[in-house]
Amino acid sequence: MLKEVRVQLFDMIMCLSNALDLVNKDVVDHHKRVAYIATSIAAEAGLSKDDQNDIFMAGAMHDIGAITLAEKLKLKHYNLEFAQSHAELGYILLKDFKPFSKIASVIRYHHIPWDNGKGKDHKGEKVPLAAHILHIADRIEVQIDRSKDVLGQVGRITDQIRKDSGGKFIPQLVDAFLRVSGREYFWFDCTIPHLASVLSRSYKVVTMELDHKQLLNMARLFSQIVDFRSRFTATHSSGVATNAESLARLSSFSSDDCEKMLIAGYLHDLGKLAVPAEILDKKGPLTMDELHIVRAHTYHTYRILENIDHLYDINVWGAFHHERLDGSGYPFHQTGEDMPLGARIMAVADVLTATTEDRPYRAGMKKEQVVGILKQMGTKGLLDNNISLLAIDNYDELNEARMVSQSSTSREFEGFWHKLTEIMMED
């Protein structure tokens, strides 16, 4: 059983926030700035440190349910209509993961207007004060134009927020913001490129003792956020994780390392959050620019996870899944001597899974085709030939375990998509 790992909750949040911000330059650091603004208002309003921490975490992930690039960009407009769907989906994604269960409701209601007190409740449910703080912080952030001098924008932004006091926002929160807005450092912090370092020094960092189950659940959560954006990728990470764990076991890995391989499989495509869902669902051939975006995803996985020391093996095993032993892979062009066995296993697991799955441009391949690809890539020295042969020799066992795992994930995805459809109809 995997030993407990000390993980800074702040680092976990930053990993996910960084991944969410990758999709477009116009949303880079949006989550961090909202988190900063929200906690600044909460502190000025006299909320406790624990409440400030919850607000910080919620701010860092508040748009987690925005699936498409178009939706993310729409949320940058100050006056929004029909904005509840992504907030509801964020709630669905986070509510069952214990460390985030409390803030899930904050994210769920972060676009509910105060409406002169009517916003205390929404459809019979109490709206947390933290959600209203997140709402005003989000609407402040979208008004900041980072291409211009920020102090020259203060009057315009404060006038707009003051105008919406009582309507969109709780008056007492508007007053707290107006007091904060008179301090130049607040605006400078909102626009600096290294805001993450400011946040790490400014806010209480919670250290969690993650047992093997919690760490695995975190990895599964991350994979759902990545994969559930498209039905073509909905079960990919669960399939890769299962195949990787099975191959590790067949390669005589220890039980601890088999579990680490499973976690690495769930995290291997974290950087794919930088790939818009519109590209994932594209039926025709990708343009060169789109291909470049796709090929960057493994780089982003590696950079996102590398700041967590205790995830070093998991990161290397997962992020190197498109490297090839002859150096022809990407993005680091690792050669055989640079690739640990775990990364070699993950590369085979990814090919084995990807070839069997339906994609927008082709149906999943049959056993004979998959075996042929594995043989060819192993013989040419692209994949570890011993691992490729191991996968071929145990194909039926591996395929059965993969299908069971992906079938379970598929049911979760169908429930998620059914809920999405209901929400969109309500909106």
Q: Do domains 5-207 and 216-423 have the same CATH topology?
A: yes
Q: What is the mean pLDDT of residues 188-212?
A: 75
Q: What is the mean pLDDT of residues 66-83?
A: 74
Q: What percent of the chain has pLDDT over 90?
A: 66
Q: Which pTM was predicted?
A: 0.89
Q: Is the pLDDT of residue 210 over 90?
A: no
Measured over the CA atoms of residue 199, residue 201, residue 206 and residue 209, the dihedral's sign is: positive
Q: Return mean pLDDT, the chain.
A: 90
Predicted pLDDT of residue 419: 77
Predicted pLDDT of residue 277: 83
Cβ neighbour number for residue 81 with a 10 Å cutoff:
8
Predicted confidence band of residue 5 (pLDDT cuts 50, 70, 90):
low
Predicted pLDDT of residue 4: 58
CA distance 198 to 13: 15
Predicted pLDDT of residue 426: 66
Q: Is the pLDDT of residue 78 over 70?
A: yes
CA distance 160 to 181: 13
Q: Is the pLDDT of residue 427 over 60?
A: no
Predicted pLDDT of residue 79: 81
More confident residue, 15 or 341: 341
CA distance 264 to 273: 16
Burial code of 139-175, b = ≥16 C-beta within 10 A, e = fewer?
Answer: bbbbebeeeeebeebbeebbeebeebbeebbbeebbe
Predicted pLDDT of residue 207: 59
CA distance 161 to 309: 42
Say whether the peptide bond before residue 331 is cis (omega within 30 degrees of 0). Answer: yes
pLDDT tens digits for 94-125?
998 888 999 999 999 999 999 999 999 999 99
Q: Is the pLDDT of residue 206 over 60?
A: no
What are the sequence ranges of the domains in the chain? 5-207, 216-423
Predicted pLDDT of residue 258: 96
Predicted pLDDT of residue 199: 80
pLDDT tens digits for 348-377?
999 999 999 988 878 889 999 999 999 999
**Residues for the chain: how many in total?**
427
- Enumerate the H helices of 320-384 as residue ranges: 341-356, 367-379
Burial code of 43-71, b = ≥16 C-beta within 10 A, e = fewer?
Answer: bbbebeeebbbbbbbbbbbbbbbbbbbee
Give the angle subtended at the CA of 365 by the CAs of 363 and 371, to the nearest 5°.
Answer: 165
CA distance 167 to 230: 37
Q: How far is CA 6 from CA 209, 212, 310, in A?
A: 5, 11, 7
Q: Is the pLDDT of residue 296 over 80?
A: yes
Predicted pLDDT of residue 2: 60
Predicted pLDDT of residue 424: 63
Looking up tokens 């919690």, which residue turns up? 214
Predicted pLDDT of residue 400: 96
Q: Is the pLDDT of residue 418 over 90?
A: no
Q: Is the pLDDT of residue 57 over 80?
A: yes
Q: What is the mean pLDDT of residues 307-326?
A: 94
* Coil vs helix vs strand at 335: strand
Q: What is the mean pLDDT of residues 65-77?
A: 74
pLDDT tens digits for 137-184?
999 999 999 889 999 999 999 999 999 999 999 999 999 999 999 999
Looking up tokens 């498209």, which residue turns up? 230
The closest alpha carbon to 169, from 126, 122, 131, belongs to 131
Q: What is the mean pLDDT of residues 323-331?
A: 96
5-207, CATH topology level: Hypothetical protein af1432 (1.10.3210)
Q: And the tokens for 104?
A: 């899930």
Q: Candidates 2.60.40.10, 1.10.3210.10, 3.40.30.10, 3.20.20.70; correct CATH number of 216-423?
A: 1.10.3210.10
Measured over the CA atoms of residue 58, residue 62, residue 65 and residue 67, the dihedral's sign is: negative
